[in-house]
Structure 1
Amino acid sequence: MAHPTQHPHIVVHSPALDGSRRVTEDDVTLGLASHLDDVIEILRLADLDRIEVEESDLIEWQGGGPDDWPGMAEHPED
């Protein structure tokens, strides 16, 4: 059986109407993010900064991935 401290279940929830996304660990809200950098900072403050935010299987992205932030300016990729 896996220990929760070894494998936290992080969820970045679907965007709210204002574009922010709630970040939770199990049933605890860690913070609100409006950008990927916010998710990284929220995890750092929760002592979870060893997680690779964009590639980790420990993070469940709901309603879009790490590049989906409604309201963010679109930057064309060249």
Structure 2
Amino acid sequence: MDDTPTDPQGGRHALVVVYPVVNANPRYRRVDILGRRVGKAHSLRDVAEFCRRAGLEDIDVEADDRVQWIGGGPRQWQE
């Protein structure tokens, strides 16, 4: 059985959502996993660690379509 969440129209959506860079000191990107806020990522390594802690260690955070990058891709850490 496929546990990938679906939206009300039956389409798939990401398990991991990485939001735009927040201009704070230091800058960060909010990360949600399975609809729950899991923390502030300061680097790609942080996103991977959040995934690992959530049991999603098989996800390639840079290339997997289960990761949605909003406001820039995995290399965007400056506003």
The two structures have a TM-score, normalised by structure 2, of 0.76
Which one has a larger percent strand, Structure 1 or Structure 2?
A: 2
Moved over 2 A (4+): 2-5
CA drift of 1:15 comes to 0.8
Partner of 1:74: none
C-alpha displacement of 1:59:
0.5
Deviation for aligned residue 1:36: 0.5
Matched residue of 1:68: which SS? coil
Q: How many residues align?
A: 70
Matching residue within 51, 58, 72 for 1:64: 72
Q: Per-residue displacement from partner, 1:47-78 (whole Å, max 9, x unpaired)?
A: 1111011000001000110001117xxxxxxx
Query: For residues 5-55 of structure 1, what are the alpha-carbon distances to aligned partners after superposition, in whole Å with 9 as ceiling and x for unaligned?
Result: 7x8621000111122001102430111100001111111111111101100
Q: Determine the structure 1 residue equivalent to 2:19.
A: 13
